Structure 1
Amino acid sequence: MEQRRISMADIVVGKPLPWDVYDSNNKLLLRKGHVVQREQQVETLVLRGLFVTATSDSAGSIQPGPAAVRPIERPSALRLLNLATKRLERLLFNLHNESELYPKIVEVVAAIRFAVDINPDVALGCILLNQDAGSYPVRHGVDCAVVSLLVARAMNKPPQEAQAIMAAALLMNVGMLRHHEHLHRCEQPLSAEEHALIRNHPEQSASLLRDAGIADENVLNYVLLHHENEDGSGYPRGKRSAEIPENAKILALADRYCARVSSRLYRKAMLPNAALRDILLTEKKNIQPLLAACFIRELGTYPTGSFVRLVNGEVGVVTGRGSSTTTPVVHALIGPRGAPLSFPIRRETHKELHAIREVLHEAQAGVRISMQQLWGTEAAL
Structure 2
Amino acid sequence: MKDKKVTIYECNAGDIIARNVIDIRSGITLCQEGHVLTEQSIEWLKRFMCSDIYIESNTWDKVWHIPAESKVSYEQDKEKLQKTLSAIGLGEEIDKEAVEEIKTTFFTKLNSNSTIMGCVNVVKTLDEYTYTHSLNVGMLSVLIGKWMGLKDEQLEELFLAGVLHDAGKYKVNQNVLNKKGELSSLEYLIVKRHATESYNLIKDVDGISNAVKEGVLSHHERIDGTGYPRELKGDEIHLYGRILAIADTYDAMISERVYKTRQTPFEVMEKMLSEGIDKLDTQILLLFLKNMADYYIGVQVTLNTGEVGEVVFMHPHCIYRPIIKVAETYYDLDRRTDLEIVEMIS
Q: 2:169 aligns with which of 158, 166, 176?
A: 176
Provide the secondary structure at the position in 2 that maps to 1:94: helix
Q: 1:353 aligns with which of 326, 330, 344?
A: 330
Matches within 5 A, 1:1-381: 75-95=68-88, 97=92, 101-118=95-112, 120-132=113-125, 135-177=128-170, 179=172, 182-183=175-176, 185-211=178-204, 213=206, 215-300=208-293, 303=296, 307-309=300-302, 315=308, 326=319, 353=330, 358-361=340-343
Query: 1 CA distance for matches of 2:188 and 2:297?
Result: 33
In structure 2, give the amino acid aligned to 1:226.
H
In structure 2, give the amino acid aligned to 1:102.
K
CA pair 78-132 structure 1, distance change in 2 beyond 3 A: farther
Q: Deviations over 1:93-124 (max 9, x none)?
A: 2347568x334323212323344435x33431
Q: Give 1:75 deviation, angstroms.
A: 4.4
Q: Give 1:150 deviation, angstroms.
A: 0.9
Query: 2 CA distance for matches of 1:150 and 1:354?
Result: 30
Q: Give 1:310 deviation, angstroms.
A: 7.3
Percent identity reads 21
Q: Give 1:360 deviation, angstroms.
A: 2.5
Query: 2 CA distance for matches of 1:105 and 1:82?
Result: 15
Provide the secondary structure at the position in 1 that maps to 2:341: strand
Query: 2 CA distance for matches of 1:86 and 1:180?
Result: 22
In structure 2, give the amino acid aligned to 1:150.
L
Q: 2:93·2:201 contact (CA, 8 Å) conserved in 1?
A: no
Match of 1:25 in 2: none
In structure 1, give the amino acid aligned to 2:330.
L
Q: Give 1:82 deviation, angstroms.
A: 1.4
Q: Where do 5+ consecutive residues of structure 1 fail to align? A: 1-73, 337-350, 370-381
Aligned CA-pair RMSD: 3.6
**For structure 1, which segment, 183-192 or 229-238, has the greater mean C-alpha deviation from structure 2 after superposition?**
183-192
Query: 2 CA distance for matches of 1:117 and 1:193?
Result: 40
Query: 2 CA distance for matches of 1:323 and 1:261?
Result: 19
Q: Deviations over 1:170-201 (max 9, x none)?
A: 11111112548645542222233421122221
Match of 2:18 in 1: none
Q: Give 1:254 deviation, angstroms.
A: 0.5
Provide the secondary structure at the position in 2 that maps to 1:143: helix
CA pair 277-270 structure 1, distance change in 2 beyond 3 A: same
Q: Give 1:79 deviation, angstroms.
A: 2.0
In structure 2, give the amino acid aligned to 1:234.
G
Query: 2 CA distance for matches of 1:302 and 1:360?
Result: 18
Q: Give 1:91 deviation, angstroms.
A: 1.7
Query: 2 CA distance for matches of 1:146 and 1:182?
Result: 28
Q: Where do 5+ consecutive residues of structure 2 fail to align? A: 1-66, 334-338
Number of aligned residues? 271
Q: 2:314·2:323 contact (CA, 8 Å) conserved in 1?
A: no
CA pair 232-128 structure 1, distance change in 2 beyond 3 A: same
Q: Give 1:271 deviation, angstroms.
A: 2.2
Provide the secondary structure at the position in 2 that maps to 1:360: strand
Query: 2 CA distance for matches of 1:156 and 1:328?
Result: 28
In structure 2, give the amino acid aligned to 1:361.
E
In structure 1, give the amino acid aligned to 2:140.
V
Q: 2:270·2:320 contact (CA, 8 Å) conserved in 1?
A: no
